[in-house]
Structure 1
């Protein structure tokens, strides 16, 4: 059975264009469309789709308001279409806080080198989210602000862990409960985290629980367009006790500061472990490097500089970026943890390191912050 898709946009042309692309895949079927958020809410009830593609700016009711209501009454994975502007980034982050699981730019040429690649990417992202509808339940809004880690998406992940829903795979490494976790006693010099789809909510969930005075620098690699990372870093900085900034060329790593790799470029570390600095470069932008920023490239540079004095973490995300970088870290004696399947929006990146026994632990999202602080 193909995944059923609802397309929501106020542009007739764009709705038709998205529908044509999705219907080219035998695994996808566009079952309906809507012109605004209000129509989208009713269409979700009527068509019971597996995935919704949602515009942000629409008349009558905007996409963010529609996502909030859909997640409250008839939860379904939502992928947002966004403009690649600072304002578009802020709105997209609001939509992710409201419960949307992924986003793509409305200009398809911005996400791929050619039309064929863009079509395949859109189809794959929708199919991946279609598989995540299992276990989603209505969410009752709490008094906790979504910007403090209480987003609908986070709540769904918690509900899925507590539910008795069927596991989609048995390949994940066994989960070690937090109550049995004890620090290894190992000494570290840096924390590095890589993530993609579902990462903004996951990073926010973890970093907002870190206490001020975190003893080591933190490197964050999140697959995002260049115009989004500055807005995301600003948002994290506003809600975290630790300082969060978009990394800049020449930044000297300081304890208690999280450096977010800028979208569209690569973040490397150079110098010495006692005085490391960040290099932001385009030199690795080749056919062999799919992601900009790339978790593999950043983690590999950390391995060369810090050896085994690293705690490396791979969170939710599509694909396998981070596997090779984690292998290099592991070969130097670094500690690698991965997010578990049940709490991942997309299990691709964590599975890539867990299935090859690179990760020592598979951990629920809700337990990362405390475990990291106990370990470091």
Structure 2
């Protein structure tokens, strides 16, 4: 089963919703790992559910991935426990929450060509240190074209060799395609 991970920071939440608003029921798990203030997570989850009509899960403990959208619990980061299982953890050394680096570091062991990662606009370089290993495991990377806040996308472009640039509409179409496979 394909899996999609959407990462980002400032300027990403609305674009993530635009990507997820496909008018097609998800047949794959989608992990949203966007830097957020703690108090916004429950409201963001409800907003996504209302607009996309998809099942949205705030991961509070060990969770087996099935079709739907997954968001880390308040003040926590997601970590892969297997190719199809995640959990929320508190990491005191995280640069931002939820930590992209924590998610990607745990993914290395399970990463393969069934994983797709969309990189949206944002600040910083969270997750950058693990990109080469994910790339070696044939993870597919799509980086937002012309983001309003370009630091995160630019840092990823400098670290990766194999990626495609895509705007938000193109990412939505890619999601529809991998949702069928």
Does the pair score TM above 0.5?
Answer: yes
Structure 2 residue 136 is the aligned partner of structure 1 residue 338: no
Match for residue 268 of structure 1? 79
Mean Cα deviation higher: 223-232 or 326-335: 326-335
Selected match of 1:211 from 24, 32, 36: 24
1:362–1:353 CA distance, 2 compared to 1 (3 A): same
Shift of 1:346: 0.3
Per-residue CA deviations over 1:185-238 (Å, capped at 9, x if unaligned) read xxx5311110100111111111112511x2211111010122111110111011
Structure 2 residue 43 is the aligned partner of structure 1 residue 231: yes
Q: Distance in 1 between matches of 2:3 and 2:71?
A: 14
Q: Distance in 2 between matches of 1:358 and 1:296?
A: 19
Contact 2:8 2:34 in 1 (8 A): yes
Q: Distance in 2 between matches of 1:189 and 1:303?
A: 16
Selected match of 2:14 from 201, 204, 211: 201
Contact 1:210 1:369 in 2 (8 A): no
Contact 2:132 2:160 in 1 (8 A): no
1:335–1:210 CA distance, 2 compared to 1 (3 A): farther
Selected match of 2:114 from 294, 309, 312: 309
- Give the SS at the match of 1:193: strand
- Give the SS at the match of 1:305: coil
Structure 2 residue 167 is the aligned partner of structure 1 residue 348: no
- Give the SS at the match of 1:337: strand
- State the Cα RMSD in Å: 1.8
Q: 1 or 2, which has the higher helix percentage? A: 1
Q: Distance in 2 between matches of 1:223 and 1:359?
A: 25
Equivalent pairs, count? 179
Query: What stretches of structure 1 of length at least 5 have no aligned partner?
Result: 1-187
Q: Distance in 2 between matches of 1:236 and 1:309?
A: 24
Shift of 1:359: 4.8
Shift of 1:374: 1.9
Q: Distance in 1 between matches of 2:55 and 2:121?
A: 23
1:197–1:359 CA distance, 2 compared to 1 (3 A): farther
Match for residue 25 of structure 1? none
1:307–1:317 CA distance, 2 compared to 1 (3 A): same
Q: Distance in 2 between matches of 1:260 and 1:230?
A: 9
**TM superposition score normalised by structure 1:** 0.45
Structure whose CA Rg is larger: 1
Contact 2:132 2:159 in 1 (8 A): no
Shift of 1:240: 0.7
Selected match of 2:92 from 285, 291, 303: 285
Q: 1 or 2, which has the higher strand percentage? A: 2
Shift of 1:279: 1.5
Shift of 1:294: 0.8
Per-residue CA deviations over 1:93-142 (Å, capped at 9, x if unaligned) read xxxxxxxxxxxxxxxxxxxxxxxxxxxxxxxxxxxxxxxxxxxxxxxxxx
Per-residue CA deviations over 1:334-374 (Å, capped at 9, x if unaligned) read 11110012xx1201111111133345111112221012222
